[in-house]
């Protein structure tokens, strides 16, 4: 049986009346902080220049910028006061969500963060799918873009038959090639452009146990991991970091 804790004076007064001391429940405790908050699905604007879209799929938070077809799959962890911190696959900070729902966007150019405002309902986050017959033309188009825009003579190699036969593997493989293209385009703006143009000639996409990007000689091997689902490929940020460390 639960008994209520009384102060010494209150206990003396109650006992002196001859009335029994009734057992009472202790008051419920209030939570110290609100529940952790996930970013709301929808379209956001930051600094009137950046537009991005957030949604959730398969229990994961996804982020895509309006001017890109790349989809980032973010890891998530609790932050103080019911907030959330979301990170890219490189470990870099992507979003911070306050306990009341406010969203802050972080990029390489805005390392201190940009407040973001919800502007519209969620739009489609997934890029257009690549049909089985179009996988090799898709890779050829990416190679052509690298050549015309950045003067990179880089081709793509993969098990084209395998990509054509498996829809899941095809989606990962095309994502990997696209992300590698974005990474190379960003590095073309840096002092690494000349050395990459001289030494890198092939981007090879293969299935494996974990997503990664490794350069050996003139070949950049990008591994996709079908067992990990739709997020099982490295982002352009992870590929760019691998190339920066390799050259």
Domain ranges of the chain: 42-120, 132-246
pLDDT tens digits for 1-43?
A: 444 443 444 433 333 444 444 444 545 544 444 455 789 999 9
- With 90 as the cut, is the pLDDT of residue 68 above it? yes
- Let me know: does 62 contact 122? Beta carbons within 8 Å: no
The secondary structure of residue 40, as a DSSP letter, is P
Cα–Cα dist 74/148, whole Å: 32
pLDDT score, position 36: 56
Question: What does pLDDT average to over the chain?
Answer: 88
- With 70 as the cut, is the pLDDT of residue 167 above it? yes
Mean pLDDT, residues 197-202 taken together = 97
Of 41, 53, 60, 56, which is closest to residue 231 (Cα–Cα)? 60
Mean pLDDT, residues 114-121 taken together = 94
Containing H/E element for 214?
A: strand 212-216
- Residue bearing the bigger pLDDT, 20 or 113: 113
Cα–Cα dist 74/244, whole Å: 22
22 C-beta neighbours (distance < 10 Å), count: 8
Cα–Cα dist 73/164, whole Å: 24
- With 70 as the cut, is the pLDDT of residue 160 above it? yes
């Amino acid at each position: 049986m639960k008994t209520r804790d009384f102060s010494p004076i209150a206990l003396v007064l109650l006992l002196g009346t001859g009335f029994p001391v009734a057992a009472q429940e202790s008051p419920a405790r209030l939570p110290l902080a609100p529940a952790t908050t996930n970013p709301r699905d929808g379209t956001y604007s930051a600094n009137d220049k950046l537009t991005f879209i957030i949604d959730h799929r398969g229990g994961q938070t996804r982020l895509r910028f309006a001017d890109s077809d790349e989809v980032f799959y973010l890891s998530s962890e609790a932050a103080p006061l019911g907030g959330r911190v979301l990170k890219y696959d490189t470990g870099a900070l992507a979003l911070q969500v306050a306990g009341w729902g406010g969203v802050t966007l972080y990029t390489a150019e805005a390392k201190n963060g940009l407040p973001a405002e919800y502007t519209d309902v969620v739009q489609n986050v997934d890029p257009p799918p690549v049909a089985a017959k179009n996988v090799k033309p898709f890779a050829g188009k990416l190679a052509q873009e690298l050549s015309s825009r950045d003067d990179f003579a880089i081709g793509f190699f993969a098990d084209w038959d395998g990509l054509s036969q498996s829809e899941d593997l095809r989606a990962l493989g095309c994502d990997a090639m696209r992300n590698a293209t974005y990474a190379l385009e960003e590095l073309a703006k840096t002092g690494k452009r000349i050395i990459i143009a001289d030494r890198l000639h092939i981007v090879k996409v293969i299935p494996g146990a974990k997503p990664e990007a490794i350069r050996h000689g003139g070949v950049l091997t990008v591994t996709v991991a079908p067992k990990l689902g739709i997020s099982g490929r490295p982002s352009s940020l992870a590929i760019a970091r691998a190339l920066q460390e390799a050259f």
